Structure 1
Amino acid sequence: MPNDLPSIGFEPVRHDHLPMLHSWLKKPHVRQWWGEPDQEIRLIREGLETGEVDAFIIRVDSRPIGYIQSWWPTEYEEEAWTRDLSPDTPGIDIFIGESEMIGNGLAAPIVRAFGRRLFENGAPRIVIDPDARNGRAVRAYAKAGFTVYRELEEPDGKTLLMEKFPDPN
């Protein structure tokens, strides 16, 4: 990727974005890590309606290329790993929906930019929980400044819990 980083923006998800999101969720490179598209779009829709997640379309040079959300892990008590977090620690989830944008080195700057927004809004720490087999994502999160703080063995494989703190200034 050239030294000139593209313009990265985040547009709040609206209901009219749902068909585009659904089409991305059906793509093999997304579905592999996000699960069944109809269920995932239902969860995104519910998150919009309840406000449980802050959901955004990722735009690179004004073009919609993916999805990113922040959520509050401590609101999901069924996940044992969330009980150790403070209530003001957001989690994030992301996917790049446009196939041709995969492998272009965009994920790390996108996650860094989104993290900056969360830190500017007072987050003391940010967490993300990739599947350990998703090496591309794990490497991108590490490039964005996340480090593994715990590994979980789950029925469908190993999950890495990764964290990032604000840059000291």
Structure 2
Amino acid sequence: MTTSEQYSFRKATLYDLPLLKAWRSTPHVRAWWDSDGTYNAADLDDPRVARWIVSFQERPFAFMQDYTVHGWADHHFIELPKGSRGIDQFIGDQEMLGIGHGSAFIGARMKALFQAGAPVIATDPNPANERAIAVYKKLGFKSSGSPQNTKWGLILPMFAMRKNEHR
């Protein structure tokens, strides 16, 4: 059994770029993330996005980002209330898949975002990513409408509301 206290989040740095590149080149991550997209110093400095290396008992195993949904004029979540955050993540270490870490660390980050005042947390998995959708539903996300084509690809919009109020 894992607890949220066993997870730590530290800001991704330039020193993490080789690790992120290696994780993004694995088949289970490439299935849902653009393997050609690499991060650079400007990405890490972008104030709209907080990028995290997630560790379990001090072992780095995942990447997570949360971002202001109002940071892009054409973002598909632009109509959410002020202070809303979007999230994306992947488990890079294949040994850590399928044993509960995803829902645990995402839940821990959601708790922190809600405590910091986010009224809504949004996510946008590919509609074919059944594993991710199941995890999000377990964490209280509800789908909001049909799949949409966006400049980031085909997405299923999902929202979690503070205090278990769902859209």
Same fold (TM over 0.5): yes
The equivalent of 2:158 in structure 1 is 162
- In terms of fraction of residues, the more helix-rich structure is 1
The equivalent of 1:71 in structure 2 is 67
Identify which of 75, 99, 116 aligns with 2:94. 99
The within-5 A match list for 1:130-145 is: 130-145=125-140
SS of the equivalent of 1:145 reads coil
Deviation at 1:158, TM superposition (A): 4.4
**Is 1:119 the counterpart of 2:108 in the alignment?**
no
Q: Is the alpha carbon distance of 1:4 and 1:115 closer, same or farther for their aligned partners in structure 2, counting shifts above 3 Å?
A: closer
**Is 1:49 the counterpart of 2:7 in the alignment?**
no
Tell me, yes or no, if the aligned pair for 1:109 and 1:144 is still in contact at 8 Å: no
Q: Over residues 130-162 of structure 1, what are the superposed CA-to-partner deviations in whole Å (9 max), with x where a residue is unaligned?
A: 001011111111111211112233289742111
* CA distance, structure 1, for counterparts of residue 42 and residue 86 of structure 2: 17
Amino acid in structure 2 at the alignment position of 1:71: Y
The equivalent of 1:5 in structure 2 is 3
Tell me, yes or no, if the aligned pair for 2:122 and 2:157 is still in contact at 8 Å: yes
Task: Please list every run of 5 or more consecutive structure 1 residues that lacks an aligned counterpart in the other structure.
Answer: none
SS of the equivalent of 1:34 reads coil
Deviation at 1:4, TM superposition (A): 4.3
CA RMSD of aligned residues (A): 2.0
Deviation at 1:40, TM superposition (A): 3.5
SS of the equivalent of 1:71 reads strand
**Is 1:150 the counterpart of 2:148 in the alignment?**
no
SS of the equivalent of 1:94 reads strand
Amino acid in structure 2 at the alignment position of 1:131: N
Amino acid in structure 2 at the alignment position of 1:55: R
Tell me, yes or no, if the aligned pair for 1:10 and 1:58 is still in contact at 8 Å: yes
* CA distance, structure 2, for counterparts of residue 53 and residue 4 of structure 1: 27
The equivalent of 1:58 in structure 2 is 54
Deviation at 1:167, TM superposition (A): 2.9
Amino acid in structure 1 at the alignment position of 2:97: I
Q: Is the alpha carbon distance of 1:40 and 1:86 closer, same or farther for their aligned partners in structure 2, counting shifts above 3 Å?
A: farther
* CA distance, structure 2, for counterparts of residue 60 and residue 147 of structure 1: 27
Amino acid in structure 2 at the alignment position of 1:17: D
* CA distance, structure 2, for counterparts of residue 4 and residue 147 of structure 1: 25
Tell me, yes or no, if the aligned pair for 2:62 and 2:93 is still in contact at 8 Å: yes
Deviation at 1:74, TM superposition (A): 1.9
Between the aligned residues of both structures, percent identity stands at 29
Amino acid in structure 1 at the alignment position of 2:79: D
Q: Is the alpha carbon distance of 1:78 and 1:4 closer, same or farther for their aligned partners in structure 2, counting shifts above 3 Å?
A: closer
